[in-house]
Homo-oligomer: A and B are copies of this chain.
Amino acid sequence: MPQPFQRRQFLAGGAAGAFLCALGGERTFPFSSAKEVAEADAAARAVKKPPPVAKDPVDTMSFPTPQPQPGGVAREYWVQARPLKWDPIPTARDEWMNMAIPRRRKFMALAYQLYSPGFAKPISAPTIPGPTLEAEVGDTLVVHFRNGDHHFDQAHTMHPHGVRYTPDYDGSYLASFTRAGGFIAPGDEFTYTWEARPDSVGVWPYHDHGPNGTISVARGLFGTVIVREKGAKKPDVEQVLVMHALTPQITFAAETFQCFNGRAFAGNTPTVRSKVGQDVAFHVYGGDGMFHTFHVHGHRWKNDAGADVDNPTLGPHEVITARWTEDNAGRWLYHCHVFSHQDAGMAGWYIAEP
């Protein structure tokens, strides 16, 4: 029995329900098996940029590209979506429990990769999550996006939370109502311009919102945007952690791996380091369809309401920040307190040095 059920708890899982393939045809199906994901992939490959249909006057409006506010700047990034072989457990071990995890697990993922200006060359290896995009209030984020997905060969996009954008820079596929940034075909480029407004201060997701967005996000197409007050001090240690599952429909593995940043089990998930006295911030992003909590041993911090917490809930595509001045040296666990997530890999080390 275990296998079929495990396969059923697709992607964003938990919620289950009928997954309906949303690709312009009549065929709908749940994404409950690798075969069904393959069917969705085939359908997504066949989707062409739809001709625009103006149903409502807003559908034909045109919008100027936002400019930085006085004193602000345009922060430019070059980001490419690309396929890559990904191993969620490079060490083949769980260092917390000192246990081997000798499982088949490499799979074809998708990642946003950071490039130097003009896509001259990669600045860093592709990572899950993708590059963190940073701005201050008054700036614009000018993100040159290239779809380098010649493996799955599907349209992809970048849809941000938190920042302000016009419909052209929403990055959402809307079939007949799709605007400029909502369908970037393989090989194509598009420049998104997003504004860092005063109400954008915080840490936010960005992710694919193209025609096959649910599956692409499950494969790793997500990252974060950080907007700070003008001149705000950056934390001494700043770590983005995305909590998400890699499920058998995507990985062809036997089990679901519960991950921080595409990796499962301590020693594979990020080992975060700080020193006593440092200003430490974890930005924790719920990157799948599950609800999680984020617990760090030995530490408490203030939530938005000013209450002291050490294990707050975060929903799908919510971000919470845990920030404190380090005062407690030691080797500490961080983990999701949903035990079934923790036990399937959603845990890591935080080492505070004296």
Taking beta carbons and an 8 Å cutoff, which residues of A are in contact with B?
A: 1-2, 4-20, 22-26, 28, 30, 32, 50, 56-59, 61, 63, 94-103, 159, 161-162, 164-167, 170, 172, 174-177, 197, 199-202, 204, 211, 213-214, 217-218, 245, 254-258, 288-291, 293, 295, 297-298, 300, 302-318, 328-333, 337-345, 351-354
Given contact pairs A26-B99, A295-B317, A5 touches B6 in the complex (Cβ within 8 A): no
Is A331 within 8 A of B167, CB to CB? yes
Contacts of A103 on B, CB cut-off 8 Å?
28
Contact among B172, B217, B340 for A11, CB-based, below 8 A: B340
Known A18-B256, A298-B164, A317-B311; contact A175-B97, beta-carbon cutoff 8 A: yes
Copies of this chain present: 3
The CB with the most chain B CB atoms within 10 A, among A200, A291, A295, A352, is that of: A291
Max count, chain B CB within 10 A of own CB: residue among A197, A204, A257, A316: A316
Bound Cα distance from A20 to B2, whole angstroms: 13
State the Cβ distance, A278 to closest chain B Cβ, in Å. Answer: 14
Determine whether the beta carbon of A331 is less than 8 Å from that of B293. Answer: no
- Which residues of the other chain, B, contact A2 by a CB distance below 8 angstroms? 8, 30, 32
B170–A332 touching, CB < 8 Å: yes
| Whole-angstrom distance between the Cβ of A332 and the nearest chain B Cβ | 7
Contact B5 A8 (CB under 8 A): yes
Q: Is the CB of B99 within 8 A of A174?
A: no
A and B contact pairs by CB, cutoff 8 A, 24 listed: A6-B17, A9-B16, A13-B16, A14-B16, A14-B340, A15-B290, A20-B343, A20-B345, A22-B99, A22-B343, A24-B98, A96-B174, A161-B295, A166-B328, A170-B297, A170-B330, A172-B297, A177-B331, A204-B310, A293-B318, A303-B304, A304-B307, A305-B306, A312-B315
